[in-house]
Amino acid sequence: MFVTTDMQDGRSVRRVTVMQGQVYVGSGESEMLTTVLGSCIACCLYDPTAQVGGMNHFLLAEPNPGSGTIADQNYGIYLMELLINQMMTRGGVKSRMKAHIYGGANMHTGMARIGDANALFARNFLQDEAIPLVRHDTGGDSARRIEFDPVLGRTRCRIIEAAAAPVAKPVVRPKQVGGGDVELF
Amino acid sequence: MSDTIHVLTVDDSASMRALLRAALTSRGYMVTQAEDGVAALEWLSGSGDEVDVIVTDINMPRMDGFGLIEALRGQVRFRDCPILVLSTESSDDKKARARSAGATGWIVKPFDADKLDSALRRVTH
């Protein structure tokens, strides 16, 4: 997570960059959450009543069934739940949440259409969780820069040059340290 | 008495319920699922004697995991039933609160199905 502070309209604004594998929920202060996406997905959730918003940034949808892979921070299935839970701890109510999803580009021809799979997963997840998808911009072959105001729930999505897109960090095994730690009392 | 372990999982996320159901049924467990603490208590009030162990999330609408654990420990029939928390939370104060409420243990999401399996067998034998 990178945090920078600059002046906007005469007021100080924290700009929080949400990197691959991360979740950030607004602190309630004046902030702007940003990320740059290629095939990854960023989901922005917002509860307009609590004025709480947050963003995640995931690389893949979910592990293949039976693969024995833990659904860790690389996967949407985990980062979506983490985002919802962190929203709830800040006063968000799941039934009031609304979603935006961005990204899911297919950046390289000839490769598996990871972006499409990611976007489909995000849509299905939100449908299963009964969270309305109010705005989305996914697919294509271009990178995107996202800005999200977690207090007002406003997003801005811009197409940017592919060269500016982050190179998705590959999932290297073993890197799933600490997943499922058990502590018996 | 059947050797099959009957698990009640309590989680508001439909996606997480699907993940848990797949992981547990493939390892031979009988699985019943509730979407929050209120639904779990409703089901347990009628069929609770069939359950060997409960696995509950913490952050849920209507009744959270802490409320569920406290409600169950207040009933004689569930005083000794193992209750494992399965949560994305991992702070010491949350764990202490769960322990104080009567939880048997704490598992941090994302869960490893083999570790979950091992913990379930340990607390039910």
Can you tell me the distance from the alpha carbon of B72 to that of B12, in angstroms, rounded to the nearest whole number?
18
Contacts of A88 in chain B (CB under 8 A): 59
Residues of A with CB under 8 A from a CB of B: 62, 65-66, 68, 70-73, 75, 77-78, 80-82, 84-85, 88-89, 93-95, 125, 128-129, 176, 178-185
Comparison of pLDDT for A12 and B84, the residue scoring more = B84
Q: How far is B43 from chain A (nearest CA, A)?
A: 21
Closest CA to B32 of B46, B45, B41, B21: B21
pTM comes to 0.78
- A49-53, A103-107, A169-173, B101-105: range with lowest mean pLDDT: A169-173
Contacts of A178 in chain B (CB under 8 A): 108
C-beta atoms surrounding B121 within 10 Å: 13
Is pLDDT at B12 greater than 50 in this prediction?
A: yes
Across the interface, of A78, A128, A185, the residue whose CB is closest to B103 is A185
In order of A69, A129, A159, B118, the CA distances from A40 in angstroms are 19, 21, 14, 34
Q: Do B14 and A129 touch (CB under 8 A)?
A: yes
Across the interface, of A77, A78, A183, the residue whose CB is closest to B95 is A183
Contacts of B63 in chain A (CB under 8 A): none
Tell me which chain B residue has its CA closest to the CA of residue A87: B59
Is pLDDT at A108 greater than 90 in this prediction?
A: no
Q: What phi-psi label fits residue B81: left (phi over 0), alpha (psi between -120 and 50 degrees) or beta?
A: beta
For helices B37-47 and B65-73, angle between their N-to-C axes, nearest 10 degrees = 30
Chain center to CA of B53: 7
ipTM of the complex: 0.82
C-beta atoms surrounding B114 within 10 Å: 13
Average model confidence (pLDDT) for chain A? 86
Q: What residue spans of A26-154 are helical by DSSP H? A: 76-89, 114-128
Q: How far is A1 from chain B (nearest CA, A)?
A: 19
Q: Which two tokens stand for residue A66?
A: 């039976």
Arithmetic mean of pLDDT, B30-40: 94
Q: Quick check: helix, strand or coil at residue B99?
A: helix
Contacts of A179 in chain B (CB under 8 A): 108, 110-112
Comparison of pLDDT for A166 and A136, the residue scoring more = A136
- Is A119:A139 a contact under the CB 8 Å cutoff? yes
Q: What is the CA radius of gyration of chain B?
A: 13
Can you tell me the distance from the alpha carbon of A132 to that of A43, in angstroms, rounded to the nearest whole number?
12
- Is B33:B8 a contact under the CB 8 Å cutoff? yes
**H helix or E strand, kind and range, residue B25:** helix B14-25
pLDDT digits (tens, 9 = 90+) for A28-60: 888 999 999 999 999 999 999 999 999 999 998
Strands A52-56 and A23-25: antiparallel
* Interface size between A and B, measured as CB pairs under 8 A: 89
pLDDT digits (tens, 9 = 90+) for A137-155: 999 988 999 999 999 999 9
Strands A11-17 and A2-8: antiparallel
Burial class, B85, CB count within 10 angstroms (exposed 0-12 / middle 13-18 / buried 19+): buried
Half-sphere exposure of B89 toward its Cβ, with a 13 Å CA cutoff? 24
User: What is the pLDDT, as a whole number, of residue A174?
Assistant: 42
Residue type, B74: G
